[in-house]
Structure formats: C-alpha cells, structure tokens
C-alpha cells in the first residue's frame, strides 16, 4: 500500500515556542491531506483538511491562527503549532488521499510534548 511519513516522530518543546510537523506521501500524489489529534485514551479527532494549493478547512473549535497548515505540493503538508502550550501536548497524525475514491493512508504520528 501507499506510504505516508511524518517528521519528527516525537518532539519536546518549551511553552511559547513553535513546532513544525511534516507529512509526506512517499509514493503517490496526495490531493487531500488531513490532520488529526489524539489525546491519551481517546479516539482520533479531525483538526483540519487541506487540499494542495488552497487554504485549509478547520474543524469547529480548532484555531487556525494557532495551527498553521500548509499544503504547498502534492506530496507535502506541514502543521505548525504556534506558541505551544502544555495543553497542546498530544499525538498528531496526518493522512493522505490520492486519486482513487475511498483510499486514505495514515502517517505514523508525531508525539508532541510541551513543557
């Protein structure tokens, strides 16, 4: 199956700093990428949807100025957590859809810890 990578796999940062997470589709062109967040013992919650070359669509309650998403190419999307706070500590997971209807592939996730 198709492969999606994320970098870094884990990151620790200080409160107030910004962190960028990359999501890449390695062997297919991702027309749409999704960013999810997962808190301990909870399910995945969609944060935003991004289409290549256009602005991301954020879910209700997700601050677009805090979670900056860029989808500049068909193989790369980035999520930047700006002015991170301890409550932003979570497991961030991206997924990507290609041209085949219904297919969606997930990255391995990025564990963010804000101290």
Partner 1 sequence: DAKTTQPPSMDCAEGRAANLPCNHSTISGNEYVYWYRQIHSQGPQYIIHGLKNNETNEMASLIITEDRKSSTLILPHATLRDTAVYYCIVRSGGSQGNLIFGKGTKLSVKP
Rule CB under 8 A: say whether 50 interacts with partner 1: no
Rule CB under 8 A: say whether 62 interacts with partner 1: no
Tell me which H or E stretch contains 17.
none
In the complex, what is the shortest distance from the CB of residue 46 to partner 1, in angstroms, rounded to a whole number? 5
Among 11, 13, 44, 74, binds partner 1 (CB under 8 A): 44
Q: Supply the DSSP string of 44-110, one letter for each residue.
A: -EEEEEEETTS--EEPTT--TTTEEEEEEETTEEEEEE-S--GGG-EEEEEEEE-SSTT--EE---E
Rule CB under 8 A: say whether 49 interacts with partner 1: yes
Question: In terms of Cα–Cα distance, which of 36, 109, 25, 31 is closest to 67?
Answer: 36
Contact track, partner 1, 85-114, x by CB under 8 A:
------x-x-x-x---xx-xxxxxx-x---
Rule CB under 8 A: say whether 54 interacts with partner 1: no
Rule CB under 8 A: say whether 22 interacts with partner 1: no
């Amino acid at each position: 199956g198709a492969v999606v990578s994320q970098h870094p796999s884990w990151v620790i940062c200080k409160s107030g700093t910004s962190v960028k997470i990359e999501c890449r589709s390695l062997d297919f062109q991702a027309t749409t990428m999704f960013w999810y967040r997962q808190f301990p013992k909870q399910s995945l919650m969609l944060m935003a949807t991004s289409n290549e070359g256009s602005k991301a669509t954020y879910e209700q309650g997700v601050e677009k100025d805090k979670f900056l998403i860029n989808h500049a190419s068909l193989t790369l999307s980035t999520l930047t957590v700006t002015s991170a706070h301890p409550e932003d500590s979570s497991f961030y997971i991206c997924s990507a859809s290609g041209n085949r209807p219904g297919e969606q592939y997930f990255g391995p996730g990025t564990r963010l810890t804000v101290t």
